[in-house]
Amino acid sequence: MSTFEDIRTAEAAYHMHVYGRQPVAFVRGEGMHLYDTNGRAYLDFVGGIAVISTGHSHPDVVRAIQEQAATLSHVSNLYYTEPQVKLAQRLHDLLGWGKVFFANSGAEANECAVKLARKHTLKDGAKSKFKVVAAMGSFHGRTVATLAATGQPHKHEPFAPLPAEFSHVPLNDEHALDSAVGDETSAVLLEVIQGEGGVNLATPEFLNAARKFCDERGAVLIFDEVQTGLGRTGRWFAFEHAGVIPDVITLAKSLGGGLPIGACVAQDEIASAFGRGDHATTFGGGPVPSAAALATIDVIDREGLVENSARMGERLVASLRAKTAGNPAVKEVRGTGLLVAVQLNGEWAADIVAAALLRGLLVNNVTPSAVRLSPPLVATAGDIDRAAGVIGEIVDGYRTA
Ligand SMILES: Cc1ncc(COP(=O)(O)O)c(C=O)c1O
């Protein structure tokens, strides 16, 4: 087997250098743990960036993938396949509404949502509904349109000019949203909890205001639940916390249990704006990722992982608060379910991530001053306490920083 140095050297030689990777290569995963090239175990509180909800290599997900791959792997969307339609029905049943388009990633699910909103809002012959209002600090993807939608100007700079129809308001500023949503607005695109932006929670008031302005002004309300969907926040969907129902929801990350699949689900009337040929993708909703997604949802349901996420999330927040109480290096601990961040009073997040890695704990730095914890939803009380203990000890070293 290759050593870590072999792998790192090959990566340096043959990859475009867009990723800042941790100095470790993983070869195996099981449950809450990943194992590196030396066989060392790490407690995984990254979960493949909020992707792995059932734990690594859950036997039911593995079996579904193996059986489907051995039976039928790909036919394209020129034909019908059963796993794809079963998954569409399962998502409909979970939401209680909606028709789906399957994509391959979160960014693509959002691309679909933005196109759909524009087509829908133009349907009565309107000529000028093309603008999209999003929030500052948001993250919606790295394609040209979803990068423009992302409310992080430093990510835009090297690629300017980006499509101009995207604008941004401060998160939770209802007055700014009121001013920004106008007659030309086709969609308001929001994360219920900003994941990549640092685990920033939208208030119920802000989400309700977005719903109201969209209804009044004929815009489509899109919730990007790529990171928060399917149990991550202790509900199947994060919008349930506020009780604000969107017109369109996008999902990806945890949907495929580790395989790439995204979904854009729209209320029937909006979904009907798309006609044949309006949108498509070769791989979308292929039999293998669809089978993986069905198995993943079954496991989440059967093993009560949404409830576990709520319970363990509360324990994680409480435990991190207790371990960091009185430590001036920590500004706050925030989150819902198993999407949690430790907000620091300085730009130490990368150093804390590196220190945690040395102690066998994986976490990641979403911003220079925020460390995110997004473990698999199977995390136990023991896993939570260990992770909170390690983080507490590390940030102790920053008391006087
Ligand atoms: C809320 C949200 N939307 C969209 C994306 C983009 O998803 P992908 O990386 O699968 O394109 C992400 C990825 O982190 C995300 O967190």
Q: pLDDT tens, 376-388?
A: 999 999 999 999 9
Exposure letters 5-42 (e unless 16+ CB within 10 A, then b): eeeeeeeeeeeeeeeeebebbbeebebbbbebbeeeeb
CA 378 to centroid of chain Cα atoms? 17
SS3 category, 35: strand
pLDDT (0 to 100) of residue 399: 81
- Average the pLDDT over each of 84-88, 120-124, 308-312 and give the range with the smallest value: 120-124
Look at residues 193, 197, 169 and name the one whose alpha carbon lies nearest to residue 182: 169
- Same domain? For 262 and 345 the reply is no
- Same domain? For 69 and 140 the reply is yes
Q: Is the dihedral of CA 335, 338, 339, 340 positive or negative?
A: positive
Q: Residue 217 is part of a domain; what is its CATH number?
A: 3.40.640.10
What residues act catalytically?
Answer: 139, 224, 253
Is position 270 within any domain?
yes
**Tokens coding 195:** 């994941």
- Same domain? For 162 and 203 the reply is yes
pLDDT cut 90: percent of the chain above it: 97
| CB distance 335 to 199 below 8 Å | yes
Judge whether residue 126 has pLDDT over 90. no
Average pLDDT of 118-145?
92
Ligand 1, CB within 6 Å, residue ranges: 49, 105-107, 110, 139-141, 191, 195-196, 224, 226-227, 252
SS3 category, 90: helix
pLDDT (0 to 100) of residue 401: 57
Neighbours of 282 (CB within 10 A): 10
Q: Which domain holds residue 329?
A: 4-54+304-396
Judge whether residue 127 has pLDDT over 80. no
pLDDT (0 to 100) of residue 148: 98
| CB distance 173 to 181 below 8 Å | no
Look at residues 88, 311, 147, 108 and name the one whose alpha carbon lies nearest to residue 226: 108
- Same domain? For 146 and 87 the reply is yes
Average pLDDT of 68-74?
98
Distance 253 CA to ligand 1 centre (A): 7
- Same domain? For 80 and 15 the reply is no
SS3 category, 390: helix
pLDDT (0 to 100) of residue 397: 92
Average pLDDT of 210-216?
98
Q: Average per-residue pLDDT in the chain?
A: 97
Q: Domain boundary residue among 264, 287, 302? A: 302
Is position 174 within any domain?
yes
Average pLDDT of 186-214?
98
Is position 222 within any domain?
yes
Q: Nearest 10 degrees: CA dihedral of 26, 228, 190, 17?
A: 0
pLDDT (0 to 100) of residue 90: 98
Is position 350 within any domain?
yes
Q: Which of 227, 230, 259 to mutate to test the pocket of ligand 1 (most atoms within 8 A of CB)?
A: 227
- Same domain? For 314 and 298 the reply is no
| CB distance 92 to 249 below 8 Å | no
The type of residue at 100 is V
Indicate whether this model's pTM tops 0.85: yes
- Same domain? For 327 and 352 the reply is yes
Q: Domain boundary residue among 239, 273, 302? A: 302
Task: Name the region of 96 (left: φ>0; alpha: ψ -120 to 50; beta: rest).
Answer: left
Distance 367 CA to ligand 1 centre (A): 15
- Same domain? For 203 and 243 the reply is yes
The type of residue at 360 is G
pLDDT interval class at 1 (50, 70, 90): confident
Is position 298 within any domain?
yes
Average pLDDT of 303-319?
98
- Same domain? For 30 and 69 the reply is no
pLDDT digits (tens, 9 = 90+) for 133-147: 999 999 999 999 999
pLDDT (0 to 100) of residue 128: 79
Q: Which of 253, 255, 281, 364 to mutate to test the pocket of ligand 1 (most atoms within 8 A of CB)?
A: 253
Average pLDDT of 31-51?
98
pLDDT digits (tens, 9 = 90+) for 357-383: 999 999 999 999 999 999 999 999 999
Is position 71 within any domain?
yes
**Tokens coding 391:** 């983080």
Is position 401 within any domain?
no
Distance 39 CA to ligand 1 centre (A): 30
Is position 367 within any domain?
yes
Distance 399 CA to ligand 1 centre (A): 34
pLDDT interval class at 97 (50, 70, 90): very high
pLDDT digits (tens, 9 = 90+) for 294-307: 999 999 999 999 99
Q: How far apart, in Å, are the Cα atoms of 17 and each of 8, 11, 13, 20, 362?
A: 12, 9, 9, 8, 22
Q: Residue 336 is part of a domain; what is its CATH number?
A: 3.90.1150.10
- Same domain? For 369 and 231 the reply is no
pLDDT cut 70: percent of the chain above it: 99
Rg (CA), the chain: 21
Domain count, the chain: 2
Q: Which of 49, 140, 192, 225 to mutate to test the pocket of ligand 1 (most atoms within 8 A of CB)?
A: 140
Q: Domain boundary residue among 236, 271, 302? A: 302
pLDDT (0 to 100) of residue 123: 79
- Same domain? For 247 and 317 the reply is no
Q: Relative to the CA of 107, which ligand 1 atom is closest?
A: 11
Judge whether residue 185 has pLDDT over 80. yes
- Same domain? For 282 and 310 the reply is no
